[in-house]
Amino acid sequence: MTELSVMRAFSHPHRRFRLPVAGTAAIFCLALLGGQVRAASLFTDEERARIVAFWNEPGRFQSTLPLYPPGDGPWQVRLTPEGSRWFLAYQRAIGGSAAPPTMDAPGSTPRSAVWEKWVQTRLEADRWSARATADAANAALQLPPVAAGTSPPPPPPGPIPPDLLATVGNPPVLARAVTPLLHTVAFEDGEAYPLQDHVAVRPRYAYYRFPQGVMALGPQLRTLPESELDALFQACGFSPSEQRVAKAVSRHEGGFESINTYDTGYVSVGFIQFASLEAGKGSLSAVLLHQKRTRPEEFERDFRRYGLDVDESGTQVCVDPGTGAELAGPVAISRIVDDRRLIAVFQRAGRRSQAFRVAQLQIAKLRYWPGDDPVRLLAGGQEHTGKVSDVIRSEAGLATLFDRKVNRGSIAPFPEVVARVMETHGLSSLAAAGAYEREIIAALKYREDFLANAELGQPTP
Per-residue pLDDT at 44: 97
- pLDDT at residue 449 in the model: 95
Does residue 356 sit in the same domain as residue 243?
yes
- List pLDDT tens digits, range 92-119: 999 887 777 777 877 777 888 999 999 9
More confident residue, 408 or 10: 408
For residues 167 and 231, state if they share a domain. no
Mean pLDDT of 109-131: 93
pLDDT of residue 151: 75
Whether residue 359 sits in one domain with residue 323: yes
Mean pLDDT (the chain, rounded): 88
- What is the spatial distance between Cα 266 and Cα 209, in angstroms, rounded to a whole number? 8
Q: Distance from first CA to last CA of the chain, Å, rounded?
A: 61
Q: Is the pLDDT of residue 144 over 80?
A: no
| 169 within some domain | yes
Judge whether residue 14 has pLDDT over 60. no
Residue 104 pLDDT:
80
**Would you place residue 147 in the very low, low, confident or very high pLDDT band (cuts 50, 70, 90)?**
low
* Partners of residue 62 on adjacent β-strands: 184
Residues 165 and 212 in one domain: no
Checking if the pLDDT of 45 tops 80, the result is yes
Half-sphere exposure of 93 (CA within 13 A, CB side): 20
Determine contact, residues 458/409, Cβ cutoff 8 Å.
no
Name all contacts of 46-50 with Cβ < 8 Å and 24+ positions apart.
47/304, 47/319, 48/307, 48/319, 48/324, 48/326, 49/324
Listed residues 368, 393, 424: the one ending a domain: 368
Do 200 and 115 belong to one domain? no
B/e letters for 247-272, b = 16+ CB within 10 Å, e = fewer, are bbbbbbbbbbbbbbbbbbbbbbbbbb
The mean-pLDDT minimum among 25-29, 106-110, 128-132, 398-402 falls in 25-29
pLDDT surpasses 80 at 200: yes
Cis peptide before 413 (omega within 30 of 0): yes
For residue 420, pLDDT over 90 is answered with yes
319 & 398 share domain: no
Identify whether residues 378 and 406 lie together within a single domain: yes
Residue 52 lies in a domain: no
**Model confidence at 6: pLDDT above 50:** no
What is residue 150's predicted lDDT score, i.e. its pLDDT? 60
416 and 322 within one domain? no
In tens, the pLDDT along 286-295 reads: 999 999 999 9
User: Looking at the 3D structure of the chain, how many domains does it have?
Assistant: 4
Range of 208's domain?
A: 182-368
Query: Both 382 and 359 in a single domain?
Result: no
400: in domain: yes
Q: Is residue 57 part of a domain?
A: no
- Are residues 366 and 351 in contact, defined by beta-carbon separation less than 8 angstroms? no
**pLDDT tops 90 at residue 452:** yes
Of 7-16, 247-256, 334-343, least confident by mean pLDDT is: 7-16
**What digits encode the pLDDT tens for the residues 205-228?**
999 999 999 999 988 877 888 888
459 falls within a domain: no
Most confident of the following: 21-25, 133-137, 212-216, 231-235: 212-216
Instruction: Give yes or no for residue 27 having a pLDDT over 50.
Output: no
- Of 188, 348, 196, 176, the closest CA to residue 261 belongs to 196
Tell me, yes or no, whether 243 lies in a domain.
yes
- Does residue 76 carry a pLDDT above 90? yes
Binning pLDDT at 50, 70 and 90, where does residue 145 land?
Answer: low
Residues 189, 108 share a domain: no
What is the pLDDT, as a whole number, of residue 40? Answer: 76
Average pLDDT over residues 244-255: 84
> Residues 26, 105: one domain?
no
